[in-house]
Amino acid sequence: MALKPADEQHALQIQAGTLGRKTGHDFEDSLTARLNSLQIPYLINDFPELNEHLFTGKPEISVLKYICLRKGINELNKIIAISTGALATSEAGKQWLDVNGVKV
């Protein structure tokens, strides 16, 4: 349910939150597409080092390296990424997701 602003400042805060959320969902959709388009197999040694707090470049590689390092994975033979952020906020056109025949 949409918020009703109490005043002009509150209206601007609501607008900023909405725009920020939509930008985040667009980034998540883009990241998902980039992850799913990577060539497989992918070896963990092919990833650049992650020793910074600020990363630049290809976010899909940083995400995969982070996951692989923490899970002890050395090689990826399959990547399936699903964007779910917009599902959680019920944005138009994204009320459901079909995963292996199951609606989520």
Domain count of the chain? 1
The parent domain of residue 67 ranges over 21-88
pLDDT tens-place string over residues 85-102: 777 665 655 556 666 777
Please, what is the average pLDDT of the chain? 80
Residue pointed to by tokens 């998902």: 32
**Would 14 be classed as within a structural domain?**
no
**Would 6 be classed as within a structural domain?**
no
**Would 4 be classed as within a structural domain?**
no
pLDDT at 41 over 70: yes
Q: How confident is the model at residue 65 (pLDDT cuts 50, 70, 90)?
A: confident
In this predicted structure, what is the pLDDT of residue 34?
Answer: 94
**Would 93 be classed as within a structural domain?**
no
pTM of the model: 0.69
Cα angle vertex 25, ends 24, 29, to 5°? 120
